[in-house]
């Protein structure tokens, strides 16, 4: 944690280095993003949020560090701190390149290896969860550790989002929500191994680094069932077949996954309902009726 952006630059690159220019970078929905060009010829990536909670960027930084510990390719965390106007910032290595031809296959291999990595250091007093709460988009994500996967997904994922979505629900919706929560252990299987998940894995959160290799960004990490990450890759259009082929060469698909996929994605649809409004109510209701109707 740094006192200011200028302090961070001097601590990292030396007292004589200054910011020469800020170039706006498009693509984010929540934060303002910039490429910093420094007086020594280096560059860095800056994210700024004037409305974020104090822990918003520190949680993202810890998520990136956790993924890096598993061997995943992620930006390097340089600093977190406060701008002069009180806005929070996160300073990362600047990575922007062109995709390699084997981008999708490399991504599938990297994700599978991350999912197979040891997770003991990421939870306390439980198998699933994370050592701290973090954020899924702009919403707080509760990561209280639990020993069972169905229990964790019920209490810390679906249950939390359903309570937040109460203003959108009618009596029938609320009954379906409770019925699904009660029956969740009948639908979800316990994984044969826990996995560190990216947590918000769609195509917009993958980019090529300077060498063209796939890089994971903007995580909402926690330890859970690897299927939850795969399910989200299919929610908003899906990845290329080469991604899934490479992934499943390392982690074969489990029987019944397609029957569980919509339950995993209900979490993200509920979160979108709570963040962005009623246009997501129809797909939420469709899934509730399918599993609890």
Supply the pLDDT for residue 84: 82
Question: What mean pLDDT is predicted for residues 54-82?
Answer: 96
Residues 147, 149, 154, 157: what is their CA dihedral angle, to the nearest 10 degrees?
Answer: 100
Residue of 200, 218, 229, 262 marked catalytic: 200
Cα–Cα distance, 211 to 194 (Å, whole number): 31
Is residue 3 predicted with pLDDT exceeding 80? no
CATH 3.90.1200.10 in the chain, residues?
A: 103-292
Tokens standing for 78?
């340089």
| Residue in the block written with tokens 């996995």 | 195
Q: Tell how strand 206-208 and strand 214-216 pair up.
A: antiparallel
Is residue 182 predicted with pLDDT exceeding 90? yes
Counted residue by residue, the chain has a size of 293
24 forms beta bridges with: 34
| Residue in the block written with tokens 């922007």 | 96
Tokens standing for 232?
């989200």
CATH 3.30.200.20 in the chain, residues?
A: 5-93
- Active-site annotation holds for 200: yes
Please write the tens of the pLDDT for every residue from 103-124: 999 999 999 999 999 999 999 7
Contact (CB, 8 A) for 196 and 119 = yes
| Residue in the block written with tokens 């996929």 | 261
Is residue 1 predicted with pLDDT exceeding 80? no
| CATH number belonging to domain 5-93 | 3.30.200.20
Please write the tens of the pLDDT for every residue from 273-282: 999 999 999 9
| CATH number belonging to domain 103-292 | 3.90.1200.10
Contact (CB, 8 A) for 168 and 278 = yes
Cα–Cα distance, 11 to 65 (Å, whole number): 20
pTM: 0.95
- Grade residue 27 by pLDDT with cuts at 50, 70 and 90: low
Cα–Cα distance, 220 to 270 (Å, whole number): 15
Cα–Cα distance, 181 to 105 (Å, whole number): 36
Please write the tens of the pLDDT for every residue from 200-226: 999 999 999 999 999 999 999 999 999
């Amino acid at each position: 944690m740094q006192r200011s952006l200028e302090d961070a630059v001097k601590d990292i690159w030396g007292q004589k280095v200054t910011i020469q220019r800020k170039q706006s970078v498009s693509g984010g929905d929540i934060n303002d993003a910039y490429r910093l060009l420094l007086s020594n010829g280096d560059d860095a990536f800056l994210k700024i949020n004037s409305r974020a909670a104090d822990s918003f960027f520190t949680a993202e930084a810890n998520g990136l560090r956790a993924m890096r510990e598993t061997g995943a390719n992620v930006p390097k965390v340089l600093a977190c701190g406060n701008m002069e106007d009180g806005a929070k910032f996160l300073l990362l290595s600047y990575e922007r390149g062109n995709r390699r031809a084997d981008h999708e296959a490399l991504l599938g291999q990297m994700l599978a290896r991350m999912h197979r990595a040891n997770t003991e250091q990421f939870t306390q007093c439980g198998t699933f969860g994370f050592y701290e709460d973090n954020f899924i988009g702009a919403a707080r994500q509760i990561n209280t550790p639990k020993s069972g996967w169905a229990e964790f997904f019920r209490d810390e994922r679906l249950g939390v989002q359903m309570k937040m979505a109460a203003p959108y629900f009618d009596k029938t919706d609320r009954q379906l929500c409770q019925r699904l929560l009660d029956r969740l252990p009948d639908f979800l299987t316990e994984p044969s191994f826990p996995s560190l998940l990216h947590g918000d894995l769609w195509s917009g959160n993958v980019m090529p680094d300077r060498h063209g290799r796939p890089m994971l960004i903007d995580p909402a990490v926690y330890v859970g069932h690897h299927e939850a990450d795969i399910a989200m890759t299919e929610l908003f259009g899906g990845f290329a077949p080469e991604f899934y082929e490479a992934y499943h060469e390392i982690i074969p698909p489990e029987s019944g996954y397609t029957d569980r996929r919509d339950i995993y994605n209900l979490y993200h649809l509920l979160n979108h309902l709570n963040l962005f409004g009623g246009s997501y109510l129809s797909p939420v209701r469709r899934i509730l009726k399918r599993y609890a109707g």
